[in-house]
Amino acid sequence: MQLYTDAATAPTTNASAAGILLIAGGQQHQYKQPLPVSDNHTAEFLAAIAGFKILLDTYGPDQAVFFYTDSQVVAESVDKAYSKNFAVELATLLKLQDQCQVVITQWIAESDNHGAHQLAQQGLHLD
């Protein structure tokens, strides 16, 4: 199972949205949703949390997941299991990941996260 997440934040309003691309059994599932007003780094964590909630709600626990993010802060925080500035968000994300059989987290370049990025941009325009 592959999970790609991204967040988009409007610089003038700090409105944020998540883009989530989930690939399971060869099928692609796309999700976009508004997030609470926040800075972009917080929004990246919230997008990852939303992605894992969707994955767990749809497929249940004990999944093997390849998790891709273009946020170095999220990837490094998960790898270290530590974040000074995003401790609450990281703890929530790790608790969700702990319900999976295994999670391999990989940082990818923004250009390789195009699907989730587009969904996040579209999510900014949801009413």
Say how many domains are in the chain.
Answer: 1
> In this predicted model, what pLDDT tens digit does every residue of 32-76 receive, in sequence order?
999 999 999 999 999 999 999 999 999 999 999 999 999 999 999
pLDDT digits (tens, 9 = 90+) for 65-118: 999 999 999 999 999 999 999 999 999 999 999 999 999 999 999 999 999 999
pLDDT at 25 over 70: yes
| Residue 126: predicted pLDDT | 74
> What's the CATH code of the domain at 69?
3.30.420.10
Range of the domain at 93: 2-123
**In 3-state terms, what secondary structure has residue 37?**
coil
Compute the C-alpha angle 23/68/32, nearest 5°.
60
User: Taking 80 as the threshold, does the pLDDT of residue 21 lie above it?
Assistant: yes
For the cut 70, the answer to whether the pLDDT of residue 29 exceeds it is: yes
